[in-house]
Amino acid sequence: MPNVRSSAILAAGALGVICLGACSSTPRDTSTTTTTAPTPTRAGDPDSPTGGAVTNAYGFRIDHDNWYRLGYRWDWSSMPFLTRRGHVTRLQPADNRLLIQESGSFVSVLESDSGRLVWNSQMGTSRTKFVGLQRDGDVVLSSSASELSELGLETGNLLSRSTFDFLVNTPPTLVGNFAIYGSDSGKLLAHNRDIGLIAWAYALNGPIKARPVLVNPGTLAAVSQGGDVIFLDPLSGSSSGRARIDGGVAHPPPTDGERLFVPSLDQSVYAYDAYDASLAWRVRTEYPITQPAVVYDAMLVVPLRAHGLTALSTDDGTLVWRNAELTGHVVAVRDGELIVWDGETIAAVDAQRGDVIFRADVPGAQMIVPDSLEDGALYLVSRSGGVIKFRPRQ
User: What tens digit of pLDDT does each residue of 261-307 get?
Assistant: 999 999 999 999 999 999 999 999 999 999 999 999 999 999 999 99
| Cα distances (angstroms) measured from residue 365 to each of 40, 59, 92, 246, 308 | 21, 9, 16, 34, 21
Structural domain contains residue 64: no
Structural domain contains residue 182: yes
Number of domains comprising the chain: 1
DSSP of 229-297: EEEE-TTT--EEEEEE-SS--SSPPPB-SSEEEEE-TTSEEEEEETTT--EEEEEE-SS---S--EEET
Q: What is the DSSP letter of 172?
A: P
Distance between CA atoms of residues 377 and 330, nearest Å: 14
Phi-psi category of residue 174: left, alpha or beta, with phi > 0 → left and psi -120 to 50 → alpha: beta
Structural domain contains residue 345: no
| Segment 2-40, tens digit of pLDDT | 333 322 222 333 333 334 344 434 344 433 343 334 443
Structural domain contains residue 63: no
Structural domain contains residue 119: no
Structural domain contains residue 200: yes
Beta bridge partners of 162: 148
Distance in Å from the first CA to the final CA of the chain: 53
Structural domain contains residue 10: no
CATH no. for residue 283?
Answer: 2.40.128.630
| Segment 211-239, tens digit of pLDDT | 999 999 999 999 999 999 999 999 999 99
Indicate yes or no: pTM above 0.85: yes
| Segment 101-125, tens digit of pLDDT | 999 999 999 999 999 999 999 999 9
pLDDT at 52: 84
pLDDT at 51: 78
Share of the chain above pLDDT 70, in %: 88
For residue 261, give its domain range. 164-290
Local structure of 69: helix, strand or coil: helix
Q: Which of 102, 182, 107, 165 is nearest to 141 (CA)?
A: 107
